[in-house]
Amino acid sequence: MYTASDLRKGLRLKIDNEPYVITEFNFVKPGKGQALYRCKLKNMVTGSQFERSFRSVDTFESADLREKKMQYLYKEGDKYCFMDNENFEQIYLTESQIGDAKNFLIDNIEAEILLFEDRPIGISLPNFVDLVVTEADPWAKGDTVSGATKPVKVQTGYTIQVPTFVGEGEKIRIDTRTGEYLTRVKG
Amino acid sequence: MSASNLDDIFLLARKKEALHLRARLIQNIRLFFIEHGFLEVETPLRIPSPAPEEHIEAFPSGDWFLQTSPELCMKRLLAAGFPLIFQISKCFRAGERGNLHLPEFTMLEWYVTKFDYLQLMSQCEEMIFAVAANMDIARHCTFRNKKIDLTPPWEKITVQEAFEKYASVTLEEALNKNKFDQIIVDYIEPYLGVNRPTFLYDYPAKLAALAKLKDGNTNVAERFELYIGGMEIANGFSELNDTEEQRRRFEQALQLRTQKNWTQYSMPEKFLQALQTMPESAGIALGIDRLAMIFAHALQIDDIISFTPEIL
């Protein structure tokens, strides 16, 4: 059982016997009114979404989901293959079940595979991944203070906006939840 | 993990345009009030007793509190014979942080003697339109991908009408089930101020801590909220100047705070005394940060202030 103060992005709830995940979370409050927690909820099986706000007195059932660490092996057609490192069992996820995680999947990365009634239904990556910039225009010095960004490509083929001072070959940290650049990483 | 200095510079440098616009906005607001004969005042940020309201939490500061709004001191000025006053000041509200909320934010508050809430709505229209026109954005303001025309007159809809038009439950049901705010946020707000600003007005009497009740209909308070682009921008009302009624409402709020074991405030006695000489007037509080968001097409409040609490 959860209370409203537990609500946050990524929390999983059971609503009408279906597993839902909070994909957007925001504190809202009419100036003179009560504090509310506005959530965008996504059905973890069908992908359908809805938005609503909850009050601080509301309570929620937790979704009975199981996560298992598995290793990403390869992609075949539109199937992504993962292996359970304990029993070497392999499972497959479709492109739509993978979603944006495909932008951050590098070979052998460990990801949490989500099981709902023993069926694989999704994936969650670590919140932050470090990826190498493989294509970037050179930095014209003096651009720093403009606050400008430029697009670069990282090793997974994903294109991302970064500050102009980031160069090719550098490792950058990306927030997998937003897909946005955070900072450069040494080494 | 701390961001590098370059990353910090990057974060602030990309706000350059927004911060220039914010400064011009504040300068233009000031200009409007000065030209209209208002006196700019400054009242203390640190006060002994915040107005007892159910849903507004003050930060303690020593034995006192940081103001949640300059309302009480400004009304004492009204009572002392300052008929037209405005103030741009920092306000502090504990526990408020979101895309549209900061625990420390900038409020414009102004009061007009002999005005009621309807006249104040017109003046609010006039002020925002004049400021926007000076900044050359009155007719082509875009927010949340919607074009908003700020030319007066703006849309006006009562709370009762808004529930009938947009909500699937009645206003009475929402109030009885303690779901008023929820219905407003989920079902009504998104439709307010979409193509032009909207005044939502005539609030239920129990949702007005400091507003006057309507003549001939004591179920309704002479209170309004301004919405632009689905976002609440300002709250105003005809000011209650009945000392006994005000004391009764404060006592209720204080009792509730005790019951819920919240921080206890003391009764603002000096304010209550001042109400005895306060003339008929109307006042309004407007969130400068949010108005700056509209003018700058910013999607979150972080984008139009220099430092959020998180990067200090």
Report phi then psi at B263, rounded to 5: -50, 130
A32, A36, A183 ranked by CB distance to B185: nearest: A36
Mind listing the pLDDT tens digit for each residue in B70-123? Answer: 999 999 999 999 999 999 999 999 999 999 999 999 999 999 999 999 999 999
Predicted confidence at residue A187, as pLDDT, reads: 67
Between the alpha carbon of residue A174 and those of residues A132, A183, A184, B215, the distances in Å are 10, 8, 9, 59
Q: Does the structure show a pLDDT above 90 at B312?
A: no
- Residue A165: list chain B partners with CB under 8 A: 6
Task: Measure in Å the smallest separation between the Cα of A151 and chain B Cα atoms.
Answer: 15
Q: Which domain holds residue A16?
A: 2-62
- Residue B293, C-beta contacts closer than 8 angstroms, at least 6 positions apart: B100, B143, B231, B299, B300, B301, B303, B304
Beta-bridge partners for B112: B84, B282
* B4 compared with B83, residue with greater pLDDT: B83
Task: Measure in Å the smallest separation between the Cα of B168 and chain A Cα atoms.
Answer: 14
Q: What is the ipTM of this complex?
A: 0.87
A53, A144, A145 ranked by CB distance to B182: nearest: A53
The dihedral built from the CA positions of residue A147, A153, A156 and A157, taken in this order, carries a sign that is positive
The dihedral built from the CA positions of residue A159, A165, A170 and A174, taken in this order, carries a sign that is negative
Predicted confidence at residue B1, as pLDDT, reads: 39
Other residues' Cβ atoms within 10 Å of the Cβ of residue A156: 19
The dihedral built from the CA positions of residue A38, B170, A17 and A5, taken in this order, carries a sign that is positive
CATH number at residue A145: 2.40.50.140
Predicted confidence at residue A108, as pLDDT, reads: 87
A32, A35, A52 ranked by CB distance to B186: nearest: A52
B13, B99, B235 ranked by CB distance to A147: nearest: B13
Question: Of B213, B93, B103, B195, nearest to B145 (Cα)?
Answer: B195
- Parts of chain A with a pLDDT under 50: none
- Residue A31: list chain B partners with CB under 8 A: 225, 232, 235, 285, 287
The highest-level CATH class for domain B5-154+193-311 is alpha beta
Whole-number Å distance between alpha carbons of B149 and B228: 10
Decide: B65 and B58 in contact? Cβ < 8 Å. yes
Predicted confidence at residue B142, as pLDDT, reads: 86
Predicted confidence at residue B70, as pLDDT, reads: 98
CATH number at residue A46: 2.30.30.30
- Residue A151, C-beta contacts closer than 8 angstroms, at least 6 positions apart: A159, A160, A161, A162
Whole-number Å distance between alpha carbons of A89 and A149: 43
Q: Which two three-digit tokens encode residue B100? A: 């549209």
Predicted confidence at residue A143, as pLDDT, reads: 59
**Domain end (from A11, A28, A62):** A62
Q: Which two three-digit tokens encode residue B261? A: 């074991």
Domain count of chain A? 3
Do A50 and A8 fall into the same domain? yes
Predicted confidence at residue B140, as pLDDT, reads: 76
Task: Measure in Å the smallest separation between the Cα of B97 and chain A Cα atoms.
Answer: 6
Q: Does the structure show a pLDDT above 90 at B311?
A: no
Interface test with B, best of A24, A28, A37, A172 (most B CBs within 10 A): A28
**Domain end (from A46, A62, A78):** A62
**Domain end (from A62, A82, A98):** A62
Mind listing the pLDDT tens digit for each residue in B198-227? Answer: 999 999 999 999 999 998 999 999 999 999
- Residue B95: list chain A partners with CB under 8 A: 35
